[in-house]
Amino acid sequence: MGNARDIKKRMNAVGNIKRITRTMQMIATSKFAKAQQSSVASRPYTETLFGLVAQLAESGVGEGHPLLTEPAAEGHELTLMISADRGLCGPFNGTMVRTTLKHLRGDSAAGDGVIEVVGKKGAGALKFNGYKDFVHHTHIGDKPAFEDIERMADRFIQMFVDGEVSAVRIVYMKYFSAGRQKPEVMQLLPFSAPEVESDEGGGSMQEVYEFSPDADSLLDTLLPAAVKAVLFQCFNDAIVSEHIARMVAMKSATDNAGKMGHLLKRQFNRVRQTQITTELTEIISGAAALE
């Protein structure tokens, strides 16, 4: 059980840990609220672009477009993993690393292709697993700017159009809600527009667009914009998921520290009671011996 002094030191240490984890939980909660606003605010723009691209694809436009065309021959792919710069976020980084390694080892085109990583934790894990030749982006942080993502998307588009890579895939944590996040390997290029649900019941009206200028010219502008919007949404989802994971992990650590503090306090009281009882026995015994 230990003596009272050792238990007291452990109580102080656990108390300090509890204060730190509680502060980190509050910070993660604040960052989560801001990141969630950014993620939710960018979705209408992305979904509207999807709708326009889907309408164009449905009308037969876009056949042969370089961003929509599958490569004639299979080649090396580009894989971008979005991880975190910091730890203490539960299973977030471990899940991203396992998902990425499964993808790289299961697809030779991806394993032998170009690998890019966002986040120090992901870069360290890839090095540990034997992947040395990859690009590490250190300028993104937990507040991605659209200008940085736009430059990255432009480079991906140029590499795909020039034939340097046959596909671009993003490994990230997709955000659905505060209670649900899921790792996903998403194909960014060649870009595929979502399928438009048909209105079989005829109960609602389908939106009809009049394109000006012509659809082909408009597609040349919409497709790069859609690719950039999707990539930016991936980063926003990953940031939100990281803050949720850290918030949950720090709350669990705070609760565990509180339980440990109560346990140590009971142990301290028992040891102190034993010491007091022993001291009283010695006093009484000494007084009895003097009589």
Q: For residue 72, what is the domain's CATH number?
A: 3.40.1380.10
The one-letter code for the residue type at 39 is: S
Identify the pLDDT of residue 211.
62
Contact 131, 159 (CB under 8 A): no
Give the Cα separation of 111 and 79 in Å (integer): 9
Which domain does 141 fall in, by range? Answer: 62-195+210-246
Contact 7, 264 (CB under 8 A): yes
Identify the pLDDT of residue 154.
92
Collapsing DSSP states into helix, strand and coil, what is residue 258?
A: helix
Helices (H), the chain: 4-58, 92-106, 108-111, 120-128, 146-161, 215-290
Residue with tokens 């993993």: 81
* Residue 15 covered by a domain: no
Number of domains in the chain: 1
Identify the pLDDT of residue 205.
40
Identify the pLDDT of residue 196.
42
Distances (CA, A) of 231 to 65, 80, 81, 190, 224: 20, 10, 12, 13, 11
Helices (H), 107-196: 108-111, 120-128, 146-161
* Residue 258 covered by a domain: no
* Residue 140 covered by a domain: yes
Q: How far is CA 284 from its chain centroid?
A: 66
Does this model's pTM top 0.85? no
* Per-residue tens of pLDDT for the chain, all 291 residues: 568 888 888 899 999 999 999 999 899 888 888 888 878 887 788 777 777 776 676 666 656 677 777 765 567 899 999 999 988 888 899 999 999 999 999 988 888 899 999 999 999 999 999 998 899 998 887 788 889 999 999 999 998 888 888 899 999 999 888 888 999 998 888 876 544 444 444 444 455 556 666 666 777 788 888 889 889 989 999 999 999 999 999 999 999 999 999 999 998 888 888 888 887 887 887 777 776
* Residue 239 covered by a domain: yes
* Residue 142 covered by a domain: yes
* Residue 191 covered by a domain: yes
- Per DSSP, 205 falls in state P
Backbone angles phi, psi at 241, to 5 degrees: -65, -35
